[in-house]
Structures are given as C-alpha cells and as structure tokens.
Chain A
Amino acid sequence: MARTIKVDCLTRVEGAGALTIRFDGDSVRDVKLRIFEPPRFFEGLLRGRAREEAPDITARICGICPVAYQMSTCHAIEDGAGVRVEGRLRTLRRLLYCGEWISSHCLHMFMLHAPDFLGYPDAISMAQEHAELVRRGLRMKQVGNAILSTVGGREIHPVNVKIGGFYRAPAPAELKALLPELVWARDAALETVSDFARLDFPEFERDYEFVALRHPQEYPFCEGRIVSSKGLDIDVHDYENVFREEQVPHSTALHSVIRERGAYVCGPLARINLNFDRLRPVAREAAELAGFTVPCRNPFKSILARAVEVLQAIDEAIAIIESWAPPAQAAVEVPHSAATGYGCTEAPRGILYHRFAVDGDGLIQDATIVPPTSQNQKSIEIDLYDISERLARMPHEAAVLLAEQTVRNYDPCISCSTHFLKLEIER
C-alpha cells in the first residue's frame, strides 16, 4: 500500500515550508522538505552598498536572529580591515548576543517546541493547563528582549550596532536596571532545565558530525575555530575550502555539506557537545544534575541544550552587567582598505558564515552568507528518513506529529536562508 505523510504548511517554524514523506508499504520511498519561501537576493542587493550600511541590511534577513547577522557582518568587515574589537566593546557585543540567545531560545522552547512534548497545538492552548510554564517562558523571553532593547536600541532589528562597535555605549545605570529580572530569570532557567529534563524524549540517535565554534576560554559567540566531532579544526578563513553548498534535485534549497563527508549539524546540540567544558559552572552543573551528558546524539533533546544555553546566557549577562564600566569610546576606528574579510558567529540556530569583499571606498563588491538552517537542512532530511520506518507503523495523526517534531528539533528558520530555489519534482 502506498501511503503518504503530507504536511502542507509546516507550523511553529519561522518561514514557509512543507513536508512530504512517501512510503511503499513500510519502507520509505521519498522524503521531501519543500521550501517555498520567496527569495529576497540579499547577496545581490548588498553589492554597491556602503560597508557601514551592511549590519542594518543583513539584520533584515531574519527577524528572529538579527543580532547574529549584525555580528557576523561586523566581524567579516573588521577582519578585512585588520581590526579586532576588544575589551569592553567586545564584552558589550557578548551581552547583546546573550539577549538574542535568551529571546530566540525561549521563543522556540516554550512557544514552538514544548507544545509537541506536552501535546498541544500551540503555547496559548498549552497555557490552559500549564499556565505557570507558559508565563515563565514569556517572562524569560522578555528578559532577553530587555537586553536587546537596552543595548541594541530595539528588540527586533537593533539600531545601535556599528562596524567597530556601537553608536552609543549604554550607561551603567541603564544596564543595572536589567539585573532584578535577570536574577529572577536565572532561577527560572534553572527550573526550566530541570522541567525539560523530565520531558518524554522519543528514542532516536544518529551518528552526526557536530560543527561549532570553539574558543580557548569561553562558550562561543563571535570568535573561535570551527571544529567538529569528527576532527575538523579550521580557521574561519578556510570555511569555503571545507564546506560546500550543493544543489540537490529533491529539495528547494541549497544544502551545505562538508566536502567528502556530507551532512553535518550546527546549533545548540552541536555547541554544547563540543563546548561542554566551556559552560559557566552554573550551567554545567545544572546540565549534569538534569542528567544531560555529552555527547548527546538525540536531536529531540535539543530543547534541553537550549535550556542550558539560556541559563548560560543569563548567567553571563549578569556577570557582565555587575562588573560593567563604560568604554572610553563607543566604537573603534575601522580604516578603509580594499580587502576580503571573513566572519563566523554562533547564531541561536548555529554557525552563521559571512564573507565580504569591500573596495577602497568602503563599497561592498561581493557578499556570501551561509545561514545555519541551510547547513542543517540535509540533516533534517536524513533524520526524517531514519525515523520514517517508525512513522510507517504509527497511526496517521501521530505520525504527522512526530514528523513535524523531527523538523522542529532544529528550530529551522526558513526565512533566514538567502538561498532558496524554486524547484519541484513530483513523482
């Protein structure tokens, strides 16, 4: 009997996509994660723009993780100019990134992913029986947004990020005002790690190649080498020598692969697996107490990895604010020179690579942007392929739900990717 699991409109993901799994009897014939997000051509429209405009423009690739785009853009352009932003400005960038991780992760954990585990169509209906959990999630998300608006000037598409630093450094009193809610949120995050550890995780493991940044001392945000669980260890400059974007006939999007080895995974699970020893003590202890051990190869447990990272980000934000003294100047000078620069930072969903070529007048000649979701797309499809044997034996509605949950494990941000093709093959 030919059977098809079809989800015409993937919900609780950012962007527009659909999913089709076709079976012959119990064996899967075809898995398609179709994307119909219209292309917006950011790499094209960046050409000829001034480098100073770039962080404002790339932010618009994604309303969920604009800071990630701004950070990768700034680092790429600064790299080309031979400038490193250090000291308090670097710290302030980490604080801004903490805000985005908290906000983006809480959105996904509480509003998009948890309803799958607890059996609701959305967070609002979940609130009827889990009011405390939903209210806690919304309040934690608000704590992240408060950091974004205080440091960045606005929650979505912050206006204060500049090549070389910031337009204005916030005063200590402005940041200190964030502390009471952050201190509450740290306890709430501890509770969340312990709550989510008790969720019922489907049994599923795969031998992934995890890819993340690794920094000598810190849990990674903006700097570090690109490393993997299968021995990769490269400088960001070598990204395009190792990773390749390929076009496959059964998908509407370009897929990223590691040359010669194929699919890989980036994002919270990859980061925590590769950087567990770099977590702040409170986050590491909470993870251990909750029974989260690395390497974790169950993608359904990514919700737990996000919860630990939220705790990590809140604890780091508190530490930064408690010792905050404003920098002498809000930004450092970034001299003009014709150059190509590279940047890779850890967006909430994983590594976000940028390459910018800028001319001597500061106009962008060429831009390459590889968002995390396009890097994870191949792995999402393999997960679906691997789990489909189980889906074939399940009642239809339960199978559809599990297939959707398998996609949502990755918190895919379909709007993010600049590389979407319109290509359909129906058999």
Chain B
Amino acid sequence: MGKHQRPKLAVWKFASCDGCQLSLLDCEDELLVLAGEVEIAWFPEASRALGPPPYDLSLVEGSITTPEDVERIHEVRKHSKTLVTIGACATAGGIQALRNFRDVQEFISIVYARPDYIDTLATSTAIADHVPVDMELRGCPINKHQLLEVLSAFLNGRRPNIATHSVCVECKLRGAVCVMVAHGQPCLGPVTQAGCGAICPACDRGCYGCFGPQDTANTDSLGRAWLQAGKQPDELGRVFHTFNAAAEPFAGAGTKYGQDDQS
C-alpha cells in the first residue's frame, strides 16, 4: 500500500555534532512508520545502502566551514527538489561561527600542533548563505516533533505548522513561572523563537537561545533589562554569541555588548 513511488529522503551532514540527524532516529515510535512512507535513500549515519540522486527531500545538518563543503552543498542542492536545513549550525552557522568574530588562525593554533595542515575557512556560515533553502528548522538541537511536522507536511503537500512566536508564549502555554519576573534571572526567552517547549524556564533557569532570534526580537530592550538586573555587558555579549552567534540581531547585539569580540 502506497509503496509505489515513495518520495526519496536524503540526510546530509556538514560541520555539526550529529545531534539533529540523531533526532530523526530518536523518533522511536514513528521511525518504522516513516520508513514505510518515504524511501530513505541517503542517510549514511543509519544505512550503508546509499541510493543515487535525485532526492525529493533533503534534510541538511551542519554549517559550511571548508572549501570542499562550499562545493558539496551546491551538489546537494542540485540533486534535491526540496531542501530543509535542520538545526542551528545549518540555519545560522552554529557555535563554530564564533570564529567569525575572531581570527580563525588563533583558534587553529590553540587546538593543533601543526596549524599549516588545517584546511578551513575563516567563517562558519549557514546553508542559506550558499544555496537557496526551502525551509529552515531551528534549534540546537531541533525538536523532533517539529521535524515530524515538517516531514508530515511534506508528505501531505501542505505548509508545515511551525510557530514563529517567542519562547515567552511557550512558557505561558505550559504554565511555567517567568524566571525573569519572578526570580530576576536573565532569560533570552523574549527574543528567542519558540520550538523547544520552554524547557529551560521549566528547569528554573533562563533560556539561552538555542532556537535563535525570533522574527521581531528587540535585543536592545532585553539588554537594558539584563543590565538593570545587575548583569555585566560582557556577560550579555557572550550570551548572544553562543549557539546562534551569527544570526542577526544576536550577532550585532553580542558585538555591541561584548568586549572580547570587537577585534
């Protein structure tokens, strides 16, 4: 039933931790059902059966950090009818985009005895900086329910229902106490896109921005509130410059408040 012409799914990896593609394998209840609906044609982390292009849907994890990967992402795009980026690395360059604000040679020499062997770009960039992207799924890591929503929407030919409001709305929805108002704890929730389910406030800590900036993020206003709560500017700079450091307006806000990143 429905086995004829199943759409072909491909999963690609660039610079990343593998956590976002693991989210697909973490869909324990749905994985075998999904495998009946799509042909998993290219997913090296899960299968040694690697099928040829073209692919109907490509999920792309990771950021672009090497000259080879600049070439490879164009190949992936060429072979993919629909391309969805999954996670903060693919949509914003990830934590490794911190190099964008520093001299990458300094990072290389800290880690490697022979820096001359390292073949890397000075920046870590999002997939959309290189090729057209049909949809971006946020998060460090992505939320597996959002991933299933994207796959289900794709299979049914509809637009995925992915909220673009802030984490604050999710806190209200789950009835979590506002850590900023009630406990004076700094929180990035007001400027961060929803999707995680407000898990940090639910653990009595402020949001640290895994899902990146919300559409209409007012980082200046939030920055003033943090400073009034007694936080230092350099601390605020670091918080903006973490897992979505290269995404505006976090990139600009981090540079504005940060002291180390001005060079």
Tell me, yes or no, whether B208 is within 8 Å of chain A by CB: yes
Interface pair B98/A45, CB less than 8 Å apart:
yes
Q: Known: A124-B35, A125-B49, A415-B17. Is A60-B120 also a contact (CB below 8 A)?
A: no
Question: Distance in Å from the Cβ of B176 to the closest Cβ of chain A?
Answer: 11
Interface pair A160/B140, CB less than 8 Å apart:
no
Q: Which residues of B contact A142 (CB under 8 A)?
A: 28-29
Report the count of interface residues on A (CB-CB < 8 A): 70
Q: Known: A38-B15, A66-B19, A421-B117. Is A138-B28 also a contact (CB below 8 A)?
A: yes
For A41, give its contact among B29, B111, B238, B242 (CB under 8 Å). B111
Q: How many A-B residue pairs have CB under 8 A?
A: 190
Report the count of interface residues on B (CB-CB < 8 A): 66
A144 CA to B112 CA, complexed, in Å: 35
Chain A 385-399, CB-CB to B under 8 Å as 1, else 0, gives 000000000000000
> Which of B74-82, B195-203, B219-227 participates in binding chain A?
B195-203
Q: Known: A57-B95, A62-B18, A157-B140. Is A44-B106 also a contact (CB below 8 A)?
A: yes
Tell me, yes or no, whether A43 is within 8 Å of chain B by CB: yes
Interface pair A423/B203, CB less than 8 Å apart:
no
A10 CA to B44 CA, complexed, in Å: 7
Interface pair B48/A45, CB less than 8 Å apart:
no
State which residues 202-248 of B face A: CB under 8 Å: 202-205, 208, 210, 235, 238, 242-243
Interface pair A111/B25, CB less than 8 Å apart:
yes
Interface pair A11/B69, CB less than 8 Å apart:
no
State which residues 396-427 of A face B: CB under 8 Å: 404, 413, 415, 418-419, 421-423
For A11, give its contact among B16, B47, B94, B99 (CB under 8 Å). B47
Tell me, yes or no, whether B181 is within 8 Å of chain A by CB: no
Tell me, yes or no, whether B129 is within 8 Å of chain A by CB: no
Question: Distance in Å from the Cβ of A311 to the closest Cβ of chain B?
Answer: 19
A155 CA to B196 CA, complexed, in Å: 11
Interface pair A62/B17, CB less than 8 Å apart:
yes
Q: Which residues of A contact B50 (CB under 8 A)?
A: 9, 11
For A12, give its contact among B26, B46, B114, B204 (CB under 8 Å). B46
Interface pair B203/A159, CB less than 8 Å apart:
yes
State which residues 149-165 of A face B: CB under 8 Å: 153-157, 159-160, 162
| Beyond A11-B44, A157-B210, 12 extra complex contacts between A and B, CB < 8 Å | A9-B44, A12-B45, A14-B45, A41-B96, A43-B110, A60-B243, A63-B18, A111-B46, A112-B46, A124-B47, A168-B202, A418-B111
